[in-house]
């Protein structure tokens, strides 16, 4: 069945429902991803509902700041999970791997390195982190080789990994809780010291804005160069202005969260300032974990859409045989996706232990499910070939919003699980309905 | 090709290993049965762990049980169910077929284990429910008084904060202990709550007693109350880790009393640092010793009621259980020397980062 034959001409359709299709036309002409827009809409609804139900605490700078930090760990891993799922695989081991890598990094920084360097040495932080990243890459690579070269289904390999790494986390510590973390390492987890302050936050926002404008300008230039169809000027300007406004608006809100009173008083004493009666308002700015998410998301988007590796992953996910026949080294590419996943889990593990300021052998339990849920809610298709990095980050934000919001409302954890489970299924159901409609 | 060979070799190895494993199991079983039948003098006590994967069992409970059994000349055999309630049913049968004269069971699921417990008792093998409740009046329940643990925690916190806003972080909802502890809280602060001296602003269960989850919960509570919380009743030390991390981020650690239990090393360190107020310590060695001694008495044919130290305990399931309830100790900054003297924690770990002169134990 040829698509061109069955697609009716544009005019009769617009006569049927002029308004709806004209909105769709706008989206189509402006090349806006309607899925992403839909998710933003859903997120807005969730936030507003929680704001009302929680008696006005949800949409406060403080809660949104908390939310941004609470989302980080899952969001970091979800960006890697997108690539794994796009390549028609799955990784069930990320939660256990998080536990194992977190525990290893905790042991290295509290028990191994201090023996050589002494407690509190500056080199403990970088050495621990590098060690964790390398170990993550190796562990991911090991699973990747089993999947790609030994041809064991990834479901089985990572189900094995799920057990192996959780066991390893326990064996390393014999069930102990390891704490406290290195002073510098704690900064990775955010907290009151682990944020970049007001000025730097504005600088980051400005850079992001300029980056968006540059990318759009560059894309337009390339299209002109190759004679491709251009977006209309109004769309280009509109999207640029809206994205920039969104970035600046977010930063404006996050910058309204001030250093907690007690810490501000301590700060005043340390800096010899008289504490003003109205309180000292020192904005914390973006927290480090959020900065890490931004960095990871940008790098991963670049890798997924602009690098050969990313294109190969999508090609393999779309049609593995065709990709192989087309000359792609599918096995090596698959190993790379798992290596990348391992590295991202290591980053997430570092954030996680930094934030808790401790490593427990149960760290990351069940987080594989939240990571997969975030990727899937963010539009990644389990059939492979489809998925976006920003979608997955948004998906993580949606699931965490639901969780945090329900805690604010005092809903019991059993019901929280029920709600998140239902939302997961509904999100995928809506998606598949829309996709079907889009193709017919 | 070479890869295929490697896999083949591995497979053969696995088969051999499996065969050997099966073989050894068989021999021990027969050996066990032989001992019971031939030398009926030596008693065998079987222990079914639900999940040996927690530090505590290997480090404290098992050696204490073994020591008690050794002292009475009894033999120790054990199985690990690896957190599976199904496997534990088979484990119990397995221990019986190995000739156990008494069973100590740390139940994964206190209800699912009932048929196995009943069948053991029907075969004349006494059963001890170790640390976790089994609703069977024919079994002996040995545990620390969990309501008492809750009371001890609440007493310390109530002593520090007689009026104000309390947050309550409870453990896993499916775990009866979470409610026992809460019951203990109520016994201490219930009247103050009724009279309005204490307000409970926030209360929640925490899946799997997860510290990271407790941290998020505490952050949300602080947000909701705009930091106006005066005390936190956390049901264990792991969750207290998360609570203190959340307080730390608001600069409130050390100003808001936090409770816990288990005597975790990090928690004891926090008590020395002043960021946690109390950790109720249940000396697992006492529990192991009591269970080992009771098992020997039961295996020798003593009736439940005649075992030394028993009391009657009204269970939540409405049963009147014969129990041994041990008394825990509340560890605060004033009696940290207890855990050091007992060899539970070494002084260096306890005093890490503690400024000199703040607590007596740390020089």
Please give, rounded to a whole number of angstroms, the shortest distance from the CA of A162 to a CA of chain B: 15
Partners of B202 on chain A (C-beta within 8 Å) are 410
B234 touches chain A (CB under 8 A): no
Residue owning tokens 């100003």: B255
Phi, psi of A90 (to 5 degrees): -145, 155
Please give, rounded to a whole number of angstroms, the shortest distance from the CA of A13 to a CA of chain B: 49
pLDDT at A33: 79
B279 touches chain A (CB under 8 A): no
B4 touches chain A (CB under 8 A): no
SS3 annotation, A81-120: HHHHHHCCCCCCCHHHHHHHHHHHHHHHHHHHHHHHHCCC
Cα distance between residue B363 and residue B357, in whole Å: 6
Cα distance between residue B233 and residue B189, in whole Å: 11
DSSP symbols for B349-362: HHTTTPPTTSSSS-
Higher-pLDDT residue of A387 and B24 is A387
Contacts 24+ apart (CB under 8 A), B82-90: B82/B51, B82/B52, B82/B53, B83/B50, B83/B51, B83/B53, B83/B108, B84/B108, B85/B109, B85/B112, B85/B113, B86/B112, B88/B48, B88/B50, B88/B112, B88/B113, B88/B116, B89/B113, B89/B115, B89/B116
Contact A407 B211 (CB under 8 A): no
Instruction: Give the confidence band of A393 by pLDDT, cuts at 50, 70, 90.
Output: very high
Cα distance between residue A193 and residue B250, in whole Å: 10
pLDDT at A8: 45
Q: Is B137 helix (H, G, I), strand (E, B) or coil?
A: coil
Work out whether strand B320-326 and strand B311-314 pair parallel, antiparallel, or are unpaired. Answer: antiparallel
Asked whether residue B31 carries a pLDDT value surpassing 90, the answer given is no
Please give, rounded to a whole number of angstroms, the shortest distance from the CA of A37 to a CA of chain B: 28
A297 touches A374 (CB < 8 A): no
Partners of A355 on chain B (C-beta within 8 Å) are 212, 215, 245
Which of B56, B242, B255 faces A356 most closely, judged by CB atoms? Answer: B242
B88 touches B108 (CB < 8 A): yes
Cα distance between residue A141 and residue A92, in whole Å: 15
Partners of B211 on chain A (C-beta within 8 Å) are 177, 356, 358, 360, 362
Contact A412 B7 (CB under 8 A): no
CB pairs under 8 A between A and B: 116
Residue owning tokens 């690579």: A141
Contact B59 A174 (CB under 8 A): yes
Interval B226-254 mean pLDDT: 94
% pLDDT > 70, chain A: 95
**Can you read off the two tokens belonging to residue B348?**
């260096």
Partners of A419 on chain B (C-beta within 8 Å) are none
B228 touches chain A (CB under 8 A): no
Please give, rounded to a whole number of angstroms, the shortest distance from the CA of A189 to a CA of chain B: 11
Interval A377-387 mean pLDDT: 90
Residue owning tokens 């959020």: A290
% pLDDT > 70, chain B: 88
Please give, rounded to a whole number of angstroms, the shortest distance from the CA of B194 to a CA of chain A: 21
Residue owning tokens 């005649």: B306
Contact A177 B173 (CB under 8 A): no
CA distances from B222 to A351, A366, B73, B213, B270 (A): 22, 25, 56, 14, 20
Cα distance between residue B130 and residue B48, in whole Å: 9
H/E run at residue A306: helix A288-306
Please give, rounded to a whole number of angstroms, the shortest distance from the CA of A54 to a CA of chain B: 9
Is cis: bond before A180, omega within 30 of 0?
yes
pLDDT at B182: 95
SS3 annotation, B53-117: CCHHHHHHHHHHHHHHHHHHCCEEEEEECCCCHHHHHHHHHHHHHCCCCEEEECCCCCCCCHHHH
Contact B241 A266 (CB under 8 A): no
The residue of chain B nearest to residue A64, with distances taken between CA atoms, is B223
Asked whether residue A358 carries a pLDDT value surpassing 60, the answer given is yes
**Can you read off the two tokens belonging to residue B49?**
């762990």
The rounded Cα B277 to chain-centroid distance in angstroms is 21
Asked whether residue A15 carries a pLDDT value surpassing 80, the answer given is no
Around Cβ A230, how many Cβ atoms within 10 Å?
12
Partners of A358 on chain B (C-beta within 8 Å) are 211, 241, 245, 266
H/E run at residue A387: none
Which of B210, B219, B223 faces A362 most closely, judged by CB atoms? Answer: B210
Residue-wise pLDDT tens digits, B94-122: 999 889 999 999 988 888 899 899 999 99
pLDDT at A1: 38
Most confident stretch, A197-201, B239-243, B341-345 = B239-243
Cα distance between residue A108 and residue B206, in whole Å: 29
pLDDT at A276: 82
Window B:319-358, CB contacts with A under 8 Å:
352-353
Q: Among A56, A175, A195, A353, which would you mutate to test the B interface (most chain B Cβ atoms within 10 Å of its Cβ)?
A: A175
DSSP symbols for A228-292: PPPPPHHHHHHHHHHHHHHHHHHHHHHTTPBPPHHHHHHHHHHTTPPPPTT----B--SBHHHHH
Q: Is B279 helix (H, G, I), strand (E, B) or coil?
A: strand
Mean pLDDT, chain A, rounded, equals 88
B315 touches chain A (CB under 8 A): no
The residue of chain A nearest to residue B244, with distances taken between CA atoms, is A356
Name the nearest CA neighbour of A154 among A166, A163, A145: A145
Name the nearest CA neighbour of A166 among A110, A74, A94: A94
Cα distance between residue A87 and residue A172, in whole Å: 33
Partners of B59 on chain A (C-beta within 8 Å) are 174
The beta-strand segments (E) located in chain B are 44-49, 75-80, 102-105, 127-130, 140-144, 164-169, 198-204, 231-234, 279-281, 311-314, 320-326, 329-331
Q: Among B58, B224, B267, which would you mutate to test the A interface (most chain A Cβ atoms within 10 Å of its Cβ)?
A: B224
Please give, rounded to a whole number of angstroms, the shortest distance from the CA of A407 to a CA of chain B: 6
Question: What dihedral angle (degrees, nearest 10) is formed by the CA atoms of A233, A238, A241, A247?
Answer: -130
Instruction: Give the confidence band of A365 by pLDDT, cuts at 50, 70, 90.
Output: confident
Cα distance between residue A379 and residue A432, in whole Å: 10
- In eight-state DSSP terms, residue A176 is P
The residue of chain B nearest to residue A168, with distances taken between CA atoms, is B53
**Can you read off the two tokens belonging to residue B26?**
């068989």
Q: Give the pTM.
A: 0.80
B169 touches B217 (CB < 8 A): yes
B200 touches chain A (CB under 8 A): no
CA distances from B22 to A374, B25, B26, B28, B61 (A): 44, 5, 6, 10, 28
Phi, psi of A151 (to 5 degrees): 60, 35
Q: Among B55, B200, B223, which would you mutate to test the A interface (most chain A Cβ atoms within 10 Å of its Cβ)?
A: B223
Asked whether residue B342 carries a pLDDT value surpassing 90, the answer given is no
Residue-wise pLDDT tens digits, B127-163: 999 988 898 999 999 998 888 999 999 999 999 999 9
Work out whether strand B44-49 and strand B102-105 pair parallel, antiparallel, or are unpaired. Answer: parallel
Please state the ipTM of this predicted complex.
0.76
Where does residue A285 fall: left (phi above 0), alpha (psi -120 to 50 degrees), or beta otherwise? left
Q: Give CATH for domain A55-195+287-439.
A: 1.10.3470
The residue of chain A nearest to residue B56, with distances taken between CA atoms, is A175
Cα distance between residue B5 and residue B13, in whole Å: 12
Each domain of chain A, given as residue ranges in start order, spans 55-195+287-439
Residue-wise pLDDT tens digits, A317-352: 999 999 999 999 999 999 999 999 999 999 999 999
Please give, rounded to a whole number of angstroms, the shortest distance from the CA of B333 to a CA of chain A: 19
The residue of chain B nearest to residue A183, with distances taken between CA atoms, is B353
**Can you read off the two tokens belonging to residue A283?**
């904005």
The beta-strand segments (E) located in A313-432 are none
A72 touches A325 (CB < 8 A): no
Asked whether residue A40 carries a pLDDT value surpassing 80, the answer given is yes
Contact B224 A192 (CB under 8 A): no
Please give, rounded to a whole number of angstroms, the shortest distance from the CA of B300 to a CA of chain A: 35
Q: Among A180, A183, A352, which would you mutate to test the B interface (most chain B Cβ atoms within 10 Å of its Cβ)?
A: A180
Interval A36-43 mean pLDDT: 87
B59 touches chain A (CB under 8 A): yes
* Cross-strand bridge partners of residue A283: A258
Contact B208 A262 (CB under 8 A): no
Name the nearest CA neighbour of A438 among A10, A24, A15: A24
What is the C-alpha radius of gyration for chain B, rounded to an integer number of angstroms? 23
Residue-wise pLDDT tens digits, A265-289: 888 888 888 888 777 888 889 999 9
Contact B208 A190 (CB under 8 A): no
Interval A193-199 mean pLDDT: 89
Name residues whose C-beta falls within 8 Å of residue A337's C-beta, 6 or more positions apart in sequence. Answer: A80, A83, A84, A87, A89, A144, A313
Give the strand order in the sheet containing B102-105. Answer: B75-80, B44-49, B102-105, B127-130, B140-144, B320-326, B311-314
Q: Which of A101-105, A290-294, A332-336, B283-287 has the lowest mean pLDDT?
A: B283-287
Cα first-last separation, chain A: 11
Contact B53 A167 (CB under 8 A): yes
Contact B53 A263 (CB under 8 A): no
Q: Is B234 helix (H, G, I), strand (E, B) or coil?
A: strand
Q: Is B314 helix (H, G, I), strand (E, B) or coil?
A: strand
Mean pLDDT, chain B, rounded, equals 86
Residue owning tokens 């049901």: B235
């Amino acid at each position: 069945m040829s698509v061109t034959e069955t697609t009716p001409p544009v005019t009769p359709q617009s006569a049927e429902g002029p308004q709806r299709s004209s909105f769709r036309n706008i989206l189509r002409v402006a090349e806006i991803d309607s899925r992403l827009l839909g998710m933003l809409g859903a997120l807005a609804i969730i936030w507003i509902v929680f704001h009302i139900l929680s008696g006005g605490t949800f949409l406060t700078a403080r809660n949104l700041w908390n939310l941004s930090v609470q989302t980080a760990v899952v969001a970091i891993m979800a960006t890697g999970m997108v690539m794994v799922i796009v390549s028609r695989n799955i990784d069930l081991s990320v939660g256990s791997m998080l536990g194992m890598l977190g525990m290893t990094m905790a042991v290295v920084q509290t028990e191994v390195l201090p023996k050589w360097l002494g407690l509190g040495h500056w080199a403990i932080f970088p050495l621990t982190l590098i060690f964790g990243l390398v170990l993550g890459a190796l562990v991911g690579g090991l699973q990747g080789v089993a999947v790609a070269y030994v041809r064991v289904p990834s479901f089985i390999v990572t189900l094995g990994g799920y057990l192996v790494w959780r066991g390893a986390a326990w064996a390393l510590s014999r069930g102990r809780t390891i704490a406290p973390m290195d002073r510098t390492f704690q900064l990775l987890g955010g907290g009151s010291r682990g944020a970049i302050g007001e000025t730097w936050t504005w600088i980051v926002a400005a850079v992001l804005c300029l980056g968006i404008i540059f990318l759009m300008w560059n894309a337009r230039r390339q299209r002109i160069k190759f004679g491709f169809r251009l977006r209309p000027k109004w769309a280009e300007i509109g999207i640029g202005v809206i994205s920039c406004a969104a970035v600046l608006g977010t930063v404006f809100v996050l910058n309204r969260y001030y250093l907690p009173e007690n810490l501000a008083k301590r700060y005043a004493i340390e800096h010899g300032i008289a504490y003003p009666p109205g309180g000292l308002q020192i904005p914390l700015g973006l927290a480090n974990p959020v900065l890490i998410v931004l960095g990871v998301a940008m790098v991963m988007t670049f890798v997924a859409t602009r690098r050969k590796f990313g294109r190969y992953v999508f090609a393999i996910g779309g049609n593995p045989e065709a990709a192989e026949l087309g000359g792609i080294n599918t096995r090596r590419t698959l190993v790379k996706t798992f290596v990348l996943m391992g590295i991202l889990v290591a980053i997430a593990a570092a954030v996680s232990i930094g934030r808790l300021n401790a490593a427990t052998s149960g760290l990351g339990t069940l987080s594989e499910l939240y990571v997969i849920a975030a990727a899937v809610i963010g539009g990644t298709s389990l059939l492979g070939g489809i998925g976006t990095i920003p979608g997955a980050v948004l998906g993580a934000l949606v699931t965490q919003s639901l969780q945090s919001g329900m805690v604010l409302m005092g809903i019991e954890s059993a019901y929280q699980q029920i709600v998140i489970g239902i939302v997961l299924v509904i999100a995928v159901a809506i998606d598949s309905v829309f996709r079907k409609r889009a193709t017919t | 090709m070479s890869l295929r060979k490697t896999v083949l070799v591995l497979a053969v190895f696995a088969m051999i290993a499996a065969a050997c494993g099966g073989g050894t199991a068989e021999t021990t079983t027969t050996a066990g049965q032989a001992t019971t039948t031939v030398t009926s003098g030596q008693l065998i006590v079987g222990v079914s762990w639900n999940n040996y994967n927690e530090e505590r069992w290997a480090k404290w409970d098992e050696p204490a049980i073994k020591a008690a059994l050794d002292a009475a000349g009894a033999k120790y055999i054990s199985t690990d169910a690896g957190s599976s309630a199904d496997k534990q049913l088979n484990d119990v049968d397995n221990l019986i077929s190995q000739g156990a004269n008494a069973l100590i069971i740390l139940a994964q699921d206190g209800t699912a284990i009932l048929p196995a417990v009943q069948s053991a008792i029907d075969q004349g093998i006494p059963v001890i429910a170790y640390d976790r409740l089994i609703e069977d009046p024919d079994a002996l329940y040995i545990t620390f008084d969990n309501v008492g643990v809750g009371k001890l925690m609440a007493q310390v916190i109530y002593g520090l904060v007689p009026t104000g806003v309390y947050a309550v972080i409870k453990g896993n909802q499916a775990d009866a202990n979470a409610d026992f502890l809460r019951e203990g809280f109520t016994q201490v602060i219930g009247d103050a709550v009724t009279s309005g001296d204490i307000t409970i602003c926030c209360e929640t269960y925490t899946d799997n007693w997860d510290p990271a989850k407790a941290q998020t919960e505490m952050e949300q509570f602080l947000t909701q109350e705009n930091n106006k919380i005066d005390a936190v009743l956390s049901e264990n030390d792991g969750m207290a880790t998360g609570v203190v991390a959340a307080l730390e981020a608001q600069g409130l650690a050390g100003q808001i009393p936090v409770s816990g239990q288990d005597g975790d090393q990090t928690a004891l360190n926090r008590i020395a640092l002043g960021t946690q107020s109390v950790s109720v310590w249940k000396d697992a060695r006492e529990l192991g010793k009591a269970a080992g001694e009771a098992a020997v008495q039961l295996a020798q044919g003593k009736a439940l009621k005649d075992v030394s130290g028993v009391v009657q305990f009204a269970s939540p399931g409405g049963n009147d259980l014969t129990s041994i309830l041990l008394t825990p100790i509340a560890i605060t900054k004033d009696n940290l020397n207890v855990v050091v003297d007992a060899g539970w924690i070494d002084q260096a770990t306890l005093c890490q980062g503690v400024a000199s002169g703040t607590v007596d134990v740390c020089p």
